Structure 1
Amino acid sequence: SGSMRTDDVADGSTRSDVVWVTLATEFVAKRLETGEACATDVFSLIVMNDESQVLFDERPMDWLLFNALIDQLRSAQPLFHGNYLPALDQAEQKLLSNIHGSCALLLLFLSDGKPSDKTPSGHSGSQ
C-alpha cells in the first residue's frame, strides 16, 4: 500500500525498502547459504494494493531470486490501499494449487497496518 513509502525506519529507509532487503538477505540468502533452501524450492510473492498481483510465481529459490528481490528496491512503487481480501484470495489459490502433498508450504503475510478493505457487516473478512 502507499503507506509503505513512509521513511520512518531507523536509517531513513522506506518501509518498502526494508521489506525487499529483508526478504532478499534474511529469507533467501541466509537459507541458501545454510543449505536450508535450494533451487528446487520455489517462492511466490503476492503484492497488495487496491487489487492484488502475483509478482513472483513459483520462482526457484536461488541467487537470481535474491537479485530480483533487490531489484525491487529500484522498481517497486507502493501505491493505493492495502486491501487484504484480494491478496488472501490469491494466496489461498496458490496454496490450493499445490498438488504435491509432501511439499512443505509456508505463507508469510506482511502488512504495516490495518486492512483498507470495505466489507459488508457480517462478512467473514470484517473480523
Structure 2
Amino acid sequence: MTNKQIIIAAIKARPGIRTPELAEETSIDNPRTYIAGEIDRGEILVEPISSELGGRPINTYRINPDNPPDETLNPRQRVVKARAGAQTTEAGFSAALSSRGDLHISDGRKTVQLTPAQTADLIAYLDRINVDQVMKAAGVA
C-alpha cells in the first residue's frame, strides 16, 4: 500500500481521527501532504477542533460519504472543452485524454472512445501531417 492508501484506510477506520493520531498510527510524518488532493476535491473532510492543551486547533479527518476518494488511486480523467475561441458549429464538443492513454471525443451526439494503443496511433498520424495546411485547404483556417 502507498502512504496515501494507508492514510485513507486509517481515516476510514476511525472517522474523526486527529492529525497527531493519524501520524502516530500510520508512522507517516505530516500525513496531510499525502491527501491534499483528496481534501481539495472534498473527498476527505477536515474539521479543526480546539486542542486539549490549548493553543492552535488540531484537524480531524473523515471520509465524505457523498464523494469518497478513489481507493484504487486510478488517475482521474479530466474533460476539457475545445480550445477557447475555436470556430465550431456544433455545440458541446469535448475531448478528454486520461493519464492511462484513453481518449474520449464527443460532439454532443456521438462519442468516440479510443484505447491507449489507438490513441498512440492517432497521435502518431496527426504528428505526420500538417494540420494547419490541411485545414486551410479545406477553407476552415
TM-score range, shorter chain: under 0.3
Largest Rg, 1 or 2: 2
Q: Per residue, is there more helix in 1 or in 2? A: 1
In the superposition, the TM-score normalised over structure 2's length comes to 0.24
More strand, by proportion: 2
Bigger RCO (CA 8 Å, 6+ sep): 1
